[in-house]
Amino acid sequence: MNYRHGYHAGNFADVLKHVALCELLRLLTAKDKKLFVLDTHAGAGGYDLAGDLARRTGESESGVRRLAAAPRAGMPAAVMRYLAAVAAYDRRFGPAAEGLRRYPGSPRLVRAALRPGDRFVACELHPVDALALKREFAGDRAVEVRQADGYNALKALMPPVERRGLVLIDPPFEAPDEFERLLRALRHAMRRFATGCYALWYPIKDEAAQSFVGALADLEPLRLTLDLGSGEAGRLSACGLAVVNPPWRFDEAMRAALPWIAARLGPRVSAAVDGGRATPAVPASSG
Ligand code: SAM
């Protein structure tokens, strides 16, 4: 396990995933019923963009930092809310000297959206990041941090007692069989909890991404993609998020947000929102 999310925090892939995550959480918590959230590959929880790892790549410069510097006029509501969540996390560390310094990982974004009575389990396998994650939520009884394999946790925790759930599966894709593992874990989880909302992040590098999308076809996920248009060898330049059973009107929010984000990130950047069900799931059925 070499992957450390600290190198990539706040990059274009995080922007796509986290804008979508914030919107999913907002829609799923709008209803007055308890929600269970599982983050199978949670990372460290929060990142210092001025720290060693993030500075070595500078990836947030062409990601969240570019968006944070954009004028607010005409900004889609989902982006505005995402940036507000990012800024709220940054402020926990005091007034920033210049620009954005601390970036929330998915567990922090989930935590910010939880209501009393909601339940959240975050799994992280890497010992250093798992320790950081435990420290991030030390004393916070709303968050259960496990240093554990997220796929095993997914097996064990489905179906949640709440019968409403959001599962984020965001693996590092270091292992050659990651797509297969993800698909197996998803199918297993869906046999036990078919109405849950599942958000699956994936890199778009070669035909493996296309096969993955093909393998999901019967589930009719909404697919969000962001492509930097740079195609640099060895560097991730495009990624997607497949959302199975998205809540009602999630697609609308993403159709408004993603083209705007792409235009702000650069002239060669493009975004797409595809797939989904012709008749969107009504709020009650989305977990
Ligand atoms: N979800 C995080 C976010 O959005 O802020 C980023 C997660 S990062 C892409 C993937 C993480 O999964 C890494 O921190 C890695 O150590 C961890 N990981 C790798 N294999 C795992 C496994 N089987 N179970 C749980 N975590 C794993």
Which CATH number covers residue 224? 3.40.50.150
Residue 136 Cβ < 6 Å to ligand 1: no
Catalytic annotation on 170? Answer: yes
286: pLDDT strictly greater than 50:
no
pTM of the model: 0.96
83: pLDDT strictly greater than 50:
yes
* pLDDT over 90 percentage in the chain: 91
Q: How far, in Å, CA of 224 to CA of 201, rounded?
A: 9
Please report whether residue 155 resides in a domain. yes
Q: Of 108, 86, 112, 82, whose CA–CA distance to 20 is shortest? A: 82
Q: Dump pLDDT digits (tens) for 189-226.
A: 999 999 999 999 999 998 999 999 999 999 999 999 99
Q: Dump pLDDT digits (tens) for 7-22.
A: 999 999 999 999 999 9
Q: What is the mean pLDDT of the chain?
A: 94
Residue 227 Cβ < 6 Å to ligand 1: no
What is the domain count for the chain?
A: 1
Q: Of 24, 1, 56, whose CA–CA distance to 165 is shortest? A: 24
Please report whether residue 38 resides in a domain. yes
Q: Counting atoms of ligand 1 from 1, which one is nearest the CA of 43? A: 14
Please report whether residue 82 resides in a domain. no
Question: Which residue's entry shows tokens 């059925």?
Answer: 285
239 to 141, 242, 272: CA distances (angstroms): 34, 10, 11
- According to DSSP, residue 233 is labeled T
**Omega prior to 159 cis, within 30 of 0:** yes
Q: Counting atoms of ligand 1 from 1, which one is nearest the CA of 109? A: 5
Please report whether residue 285 resides in a domain. no
**Biggest alpha carbon distance in the chain?**
50
Please report whether residue 7 resides in a domain. no
- Tokens standing for residue 140: 């916070």
Please report whether residue 254 resides in a domain. yes
Residue 129 Cβ < 6 Å to ligand 1: yes
Please report whether residue 81 resides in a domain. no
Please report whether residue 55 resides in a domain. no
Q: Which domain holds residue 20?
A: 16-45+105-275
143: pLDDT strictly greater than 60:
yes
Residues 6+ apart with CB under 8 A from 123: 38, 39, 40, 41, 42, 145, 146, 147, 148, 149, 150, 153
